[in-house]
Structure formats: C-alpha cells, structure tokens
Structure 1
Amino acid sequence: MTILITGANRGIGQALAELYQDRGETVIGTHRAPDAGHLRELDVTDPSSHAALAERLGDTSLELLVCNAGVNLDQGQALDDGYPPAMWEDCFAANVTGVFLTIQSFLPHLRRSDAPKIAIIGSQLGSQTIASGGGYIYCASKAAVLNLGRNLAVDLAPEGFAVGVYHPGWVRTDMGGDRADISMQESAQGLAARFTALNPETTGCFETWDGQAHAY
C-alpha cells in the first residue's frame, strides 16, 4: 500500500508515517521544507507546490491520502482586540483550503487505486455539539473541514472512494502540550485502525481515534 501523509515531519503525522513504515508500507510524507529522506516538499497553501509534487509522483497509485497538515494560530488571543483578519486567512488557508487542494491535486493518483481512501485529521472542536469558548479561528476551521469532508464523501462515493474525518484525541504534541491525554503513538495506532476500517459503507464518518462515532 502506498500512503501519502501531509505534515509528516512532526507530531501525529510523523507518528503515522513511522507506524506505516514499520509495517512495510510505502510512505510519502510531506513537509514545507526541501526534500529530506522520505519527506517531500509540499506547502499545502500553495497551488504551485501541489502541482509540482503531483507531477513528481507521475503514475504512482495512492491507496490512502492522510490530510494531517494544519495549524493552530489563535491560542491566547483576546476577544476584545485579538483574532486579526490575517490570522483567519492563514489558518483557513492551511486547515481548509490546504486540505481541499491536497485532495484535488492527488485525485488522479487515488483514482489509480481499486479502493481509494481519504482521511482528514479534524478535531472534536469542529463539532456543533461542543462549544468550550475561545479559539474561534481554529474551531471554525475545523468545523469547515468537517463539512468539506462530508460533502467530498457524497461527491466521490460513485467512484468508490471512502472519506472519513477523525478526531485524533488530545495528543502530547507541540500543539496539544505536555498535559494532553495520550501519546502520539497511541493516537497513530488508533487512527490507523480507523483508516483500515474505513470503506464505502462508512464514508462520510466523523470518528474519534479510538473508534467512537462523534456527533457532527
């Protein structure tokens, strides 16, 4: 199986890449820097970067695309004078537009597979059932990408695609912090199991890393 994972240079993306490599799968990881080892250069906010990598992959067949790259820029912002417009633009460019461009760019490679899968790393903070206050930009971007994934599942279903959106848990990463509940490896193990279970019958799902259906 050949898997492309965006944002594979650290955090959950790196843990997923290492897990699949240990299993003997072919992993194409991406990061914003120049090529290094199995990592390929991709700025998910830049259409020309997508086009360049898609061309480099040639006739590669992708069985699984994991849209993991993302940012959380608005921690500590104050409601009265924070959350500047440029911060909204940058966050949505990475977390929403970047996911769409990634999927759009690698559709030809996914279509070469008999059972293509797309996994979007979202967050429970994108659910309409959770409102903890604050983090307006990040939460709104995760709500948007959840909606994006659901609609892509509908449009790609006739071609046999399976699309899922996943909450990875509160993970001890640079973004999650040291006080988070689970390790990167625990999250990756759970997410990989979810990706294996994903199929055309479950397309459009929104699930947690440990297999629980999450309310939209």
Structure 2
Amino acid sequence: MQTRELSIPGAWEITPRQFGDDRGTFMEWFKEPAFTAALGHGLHLAQANCSVSAAGVLRGVHYADVPPGQAKYVFCAAGAVLDVIVDLRVGSPTFGRWDSVLLDDVDRRAVYLSEGLGHAFLSLADGSTVVYLCSEGYAPDREHGIHPLDPDLAIAWPTQGRDGRPLELTLSGKDEQAPSLAEALAAGALPQADVVAAHVAGLRGEAVNR
C-alpha cells in the first residue's frame, strides 16, 4: 500500500497493491498499520456508508463541525468518480483551495480526508459505488455544505463521463441550496484551523499513548 499526501494538508491518496489472476482481483483497500504509520494516528470507525450514483450525480461539498468533525476514508468499489477535497479551515495556508483524485475500479485508489476538510465527488459512470469509513456518525445538526459550483472555489468538474458522453450535473435539493464559501465564512460556519489542529494533535497523542 502506497500513501501520498495531497496538496491540501490532512488529505491523502492511498493506492493498494492488487493481486489479479484469471479468477479476478484481490486487494487490501484499508490497512490500519500502514494508515497509522503515514498519518500518526489510527482511524476510529463509527459508521460505514455506501452510495450508488448515476453518471453526472454531484455530491457535496460536505463538512462537519470540529470537534468532533468527521474524517472519511473513501473508496470507489465500482465505476468511477472524481473525488474532491476542499480546505475549509479558516486560517489554513491553503484555505479555499482544492485537490482531486480519480477513484475508480481500475487503479482502486482511496482517499482519506481529516476533520475540517470539505468533501465532494462527481460520478463519471452509471452505478458508481462509493463506500466510505467515517470517524463519527451522521449528526444533522453538525453537518453543513458549500455549493460545489461556487465560482470562488472554481472546482474543475469534468464535463464528460468515463464513456466520453457529456455529463448533465445532478445535485440534491440540499446541495443546490448550500451557501457559497464567502457566505459560510461571513456566517462563522466554517472550521477554525487552530481548533482542527488541536483536535488532530489530540488524536495523535491518543495513538501514541495506546
């Protein structure tokens, strides 16, 4: 398993080693020792989610209040998605920037994003199946969104699917009504970088003391 930190601190790309033969493919898409070695702390698993999306479905940008926040380990079991991580931590040197990783059923990469980061993905094929491990359970009062088409974010969403056909974006009603980054900032609704850093440092301390 190979790990690579993205341009957004706290976000990582994980590439598993695949073992294939005439029967199919086997891989370990999450390994706690390798994960802890790269990040300095383990992943507390509170909830596992699975979503299946048609081509053009755009989900996010979602984030949670910190503490406790919600870290995610994201894997595409079938199909393909462009997975996007946005730095929403006020005071971070990379605040407002984004990075992306293609998650698909070929390279079978995964993405980890720590607390305080925003997450979104665009399905590039019908039936794209995304599973993600979450450090905290769903809590509607602590979870928020930023509009994924906010021009200030300027996320370069693909215009064609994996089959080369044009994509028609489909958003949920909730995501359609999400505020812009500037509106969320003005409302004081975004995570603070120093608070997130202290929270993550506490997780590392817990890992060391185990």
TM class by smaller structure: under 0.3
Higher helix share: 1
Q: Which has the higher contact order (CA 8 A, sep 6+)?
A: 2
Normalised to the residue count of structure 1, the TM-score between the two structures is 0.27
TM-score after normalising by structure 2 = 0.28
